[in-house]
């Protein structure tokens, strides 16, 4: 049955709902590994993914009316930095030419990437529920591969900060800056990076097709395709966080690895080093992390939930530390103290906000020539000892050392 008939008969909607049910059951594979807070956040995570998928693929996937739109509020999959905004433009394919215009405002840095993913042109033509997780092998809107990118360091700005960038398969005469796309391109991602958001004038980005295509009414087949993409996005991200945790990161607790292959496998851009790991810390314990920051324009250390989401205390300026908010030790080291309360040993206190485990991330953007990610040392210590003895409680504790670069 074609997508049109499947939408008009109600089958496409039924299968959308069935896919959400299938995604919800992924948490069962964790068994007792997840606690009550993890489970509560899991179902909220799925609700956020559903909102994200519907907005992207039903509201922002009109071929004749491209847009660059921010992701929905609090959608922070894959360790998104609170200093970074993500603007998305969704394409059906890469057959058209576009131009992005805008103004950088006071923004110190941005990068625009084009990407592909494994998905059929018309996914609404079939029912993906019966294939389950195996269906992600041929239809996974979350498995993005970056195929081209352009950074603000490469863009030409006029004295007022205005810019124009062509987005096309071939260069366009008269436009100096160019982001190449492939025939299979499914969209663009703009990452905007703030150093001090409160005191930075926001940028402006707009995109349009160069052939002057006029907006038109939506078709039943397009709605069926959008529902299929939205549902498979929920399933794909649900399986992604399970796979990253159970098959990879959780096997190295309280360690960080800068794995280029892992980062680039999910839409990463090779303008940075991004290290991932998991952390474990009971309520009566503290994790003390030390590293010497690499020479770069920006870095951030952040805690996340087991589902790779930002903790709810990010809105209060907690849960993460950046180059522009940290307090350095006298010897130039960064000390991060992860604990339910500040033990008073200095450094940078990060509250896990009632979580006892989750993902952690350390990324460096704009590294100077020759700079590499640092070693990261971690000590796990009773919180009461830190409060009673101060930093002396760390003496004699053999640190876990990580920070290796692979991939």
How confident is the model at residue 73, as a pLDDT?
87
Distance, CA of 388 to chain centre: 39
Phi and psi, residue 354, nearest 5°: 75, 0
Strands 400-402 and 376-382: antiparallel
Question: Which residues, given as ranges, of the chain have pLDDT below 50?
Answer: none
| pTM score | 0.94
Residue 103 CA to residue 109 CA, distance in Å, equals 12
All structural domains of the chain, each given as residue ranges with its CATH number in brackets, are: 3-244 (no CATH), 253-406 (2.60.40)
Report the sign of the C-alpha dihedral through residues 32, 77, 309, 151, in that order: positive
Q: What are phi and psi of 70, to 5 degrees?
A: -70, 150
Report which of 350, 351, 349, 346 is spatially closest to residue 331, judged by C-alpha positions. 346
Task: At 39, list the tokens.
Answer: 């489970």
Q: How far is CA 337 from the centre of its chain?
A: 24
Per-residue pLDDT, 77: 85
- Bridge partners of 109, per DSSP, are 193
Helices in 249-339 by DSSP H: which ranges?
A: 260-264
- Give which of 59, 37, 50, 40 is closest to 235, Cα–Cα: 50
DSSP 8-state symbol, 277: E
| pLDDT value, residue 407 | 78
Element (H, E) at 166: strand 162-168
Residue-wise pLDDT for 3-12, tens only, equals: 999 999 999 9
The pLDDT score that the predictor gives to residue 270 is: 84
Say if residues 149 and 112 touch (Cβ distance below 8 Å): yes
């Amino acid at each position: 049955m074609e997508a049109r008939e499947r939408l008009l008969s109600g089958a496409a909607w039924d299968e959308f709902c069935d896919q959400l049910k299938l995604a919800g059951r992924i948490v069962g594979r964790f068994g007792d590994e997840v606690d009550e807070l993890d489970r509560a956040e899991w179902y909220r995570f799925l609700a956020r993914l559903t909102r994200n998928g519907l907005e992207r693929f039903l509201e922002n996937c009109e071929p004749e009316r491209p847009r660059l739109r921010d992701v929905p509020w609090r959608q922070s999959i894959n360790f998104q930095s609170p200093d970074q905004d993500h603007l998305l433009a969704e394409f059906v394919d890469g057959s058209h030419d576009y131009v992005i215009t805008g103004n950088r405002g006071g923004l110190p840095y941005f990068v625009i990437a084009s990407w592909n993913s494994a998905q059929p042109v018309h996914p609404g033509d079939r029912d993906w529920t019966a294939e389950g997780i195996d269906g992600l092998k041929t239809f996974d809107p979350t498995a993005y591969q970056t195929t081209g990118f352009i950074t603000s360091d490469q863009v030409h700005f006029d004295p007022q900060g205005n810019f124009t960038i062509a987005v096309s398969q071939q260069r366009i005469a008269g436009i100096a800056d160019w982001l190449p796309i492939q025939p299979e391109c499914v969209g663009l991602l703009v990452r905007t990076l703030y150093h001090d958001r409160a005191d930075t004038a926001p940028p402006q980005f707009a995109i349009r097709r160069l052939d002057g295509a006029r907006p038109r009414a939506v078709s039943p087949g397009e709605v069926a395709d959008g529902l299929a993409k939205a549902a498979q996005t929920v399933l794909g991200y649900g399986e992604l966080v399970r796979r990253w945790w159970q098959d990879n990161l959780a096997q190295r607790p309280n360690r960080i690895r800068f794995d280029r292959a892992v980062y680039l496998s999910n839409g990463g851009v090779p303008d940075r080093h991004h290290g991932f790991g998991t952390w474990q810390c009971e309520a009566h314990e503290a994790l003390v992390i030390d590293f010497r920051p690499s020479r770069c324009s920006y870095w951030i250390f952040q805690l996340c939930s087991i589902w790779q989401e930002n903790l709810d205390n990010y809105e209060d300026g907690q849960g993460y530390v950046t180059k522009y908010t940290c307090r350095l030790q006298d010897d130039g080291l960064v000390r991060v103290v992860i604990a339910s309360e500040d033990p008073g040993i200095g450094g940078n206190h990060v509250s896990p906000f009632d979580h006892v485990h989750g993902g952690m991330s350390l990324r460096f953007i704009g590294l100077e020539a020759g700079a590499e990610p640092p070693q990261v040392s971690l000590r796990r210590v009773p919180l009461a000892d830190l409060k009673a003895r101060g930093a002396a409680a760390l003496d004699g504790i053999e640190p876990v050392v990580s920070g290796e670069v692979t991939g």
